[in-house]
Homo-oligomer: A and B are copies of this chain.
């Protein structure tokens, strides 16, 4: 009989095994707030829909959500504006291009972002969150994320926010292109403010796992048993997490791991074993596609060992 101790032991082993891969990756260096992250850190937390909790490795390491926040801005935009409004502005297809590519905005009519997880899409999504100005929009998204994480202390890393805002010329370029295409209707700088704010929210992997747990439970808060996100929107989010969640290594991740997931440039990964586990991971060293080297390796081991793939 496999007991909790057995699982913990296996988890610890996989963490140490996977951590060895970190030397193959590189910590993102484009802003100081990211460059300072420890190359060989690796941490994982798992919240079960049945109340179980596991953790291993560097689970107290704090990091910014970065692109992981795109899952939650999408969900909030869907809850705020509905499916129809959202998909008038953003498509549903993976691109095969880099997350910050501008090619398809020029090449493919009508020049709307292919999906909400590339930067172009996430910028448009940020504009679809309801609120009177960027502060209110940001505040609403922060509250939503705090709620899912069950932690009201979650806040921004102001230094990261400032750095992003100062250096994000590519995102500005994308946003003005979207404005020119008529896809982005709001003010560019105000929209980017919301976007940079969401990227700079600080979490650890335990908090991430709790957010993931709500998705694993089809939108039901496992403590209060309330439906905090409509199940249909969770379904949409999980679909995107499979087809576009791991940048342009999403197809490979579907084959190797087979779980809905979303990664960020800080090395975080949020993943979902539907009906079972909410997972949060941090491993700052990234592979060439922008995903945590050790984190992906750890998920591969766990998924194959514990037969988690949805395929």
Contacts and interface: CB of A to CB of B under 8 A. Distances in A.
Contact of A239 (B174, B177, B255): B255
Contacts of A277: none
Interface string A94-122: 11110001111011100000110000000
Interface in A56-99: 91-97
A26 B174 CA distance: 29
A106 B120 CA distance: 15
A161 interface: no
A178 to B, nearest CB: 8
Contact of A243 (B91, B176, B188, B243): B243
A5 interface: no
Interface in A218-254: 235-236, 238-240, 242-244, 248-252, 254
A188 B175 CA distance: 14
Counting chain B CB atoms within 10 Å of each CB, the highest count among A93, A188, A236, A310 belongs to A93
A170 interface: yes
Contact of A252 (B92, B176, B242): B92
A180 interface: yes
B92 A94 contact: no
Contact of A235 (B91, B250, B309): B309
Contacts of A242: 242-243, 254, 311
A246 to B, nearest CB: 10
A147 interface: no
A103 B92 contact: no
A115 B17 CA distance: 30
